[in-house]
Structure 1
Amino acid sequence: MVRAIRGATQVDADERDLVLAATAELVAEVLARNELLVSDVISVLFTTTPDLTSEFPAVAARKVGFEDVPLLCASEIDVPGSMPRVIRLLAHADTTRPRHLIRHVYLRGAARLRHDIAQ
Structure 2
Amino acid sequence: MTRGVRGATTVNRNEENQIIEETRKVLEEMISKNEIEPESISHVFISATKDLNAVFPAKALRKLPGFTYVPVMCMSEMDVPGALPYCIRIMMVVNTEKEQQEIHHVFHNNAVKLRPDLIKKRGE
Asked if TM exceeds 0.5, the reply is yes
Aligned letter for 2:117? D
Q: How far apart, in 2, do the equivalents of 1:39 and 1:90 lie? A: 16
What is the RMSD computed on CA atoms of the aligned residues? 0.9
In structure 2, C-alpha distance between the alignment counterparts of 1:68 and 1:87, rounded to whole Å: 22
Corresponding residue of 2:90: 89
The equivalent residue for 1:77 is 78
Unaligned residue ranges in structure 1 (runs of 5+): none
Aligned to 1:7: 7
- Give per-residue Cα distances to partners, 1:47-67, cap 9 Å, x unaligned: 000000000011110111321
Q: CA deviation at 1:34?
A: 0.6
1:101 aligns with 2:121: no
Paired with 2:39 and 2:106, the residues of 1 have a C-alpha distance of 19
TM-score, normalising length from structure 1? 0.96
Q: Which residue of 2 aligns with 1:16?
A: 16
Q: Find the counterpart in structure 2 of residue 50 from structure 1.
A: 50
SS in structure 1 of the partner of residue 116 of structure 2: coil
Match of 2:38 in 1: 38
State the distance in 2 between where 1:58 and 1:38 align: 14
Structure 2 Cα separation of the partners of residues 118 and 37 of structure 1 = 22
Q: What corresponds to 2:25 in structure 1? A: 25
Moved >4 Å (runs of 4+): none
Residue 79 of structure 1 deviates from its aligned partner by: 1.1
Letter in 2 for 1:16: E
Shift of 1:42: 1.4
Instruction: Report the TM-score when normalising by structure 2.
Output: 0.92
Alignment partners' CA distance in 1, 2:78 and 2:3: 25
Q: Secondary structure at the match of 1:100?
A: helix
Percent identity between the aligned chains?
Answer: 36
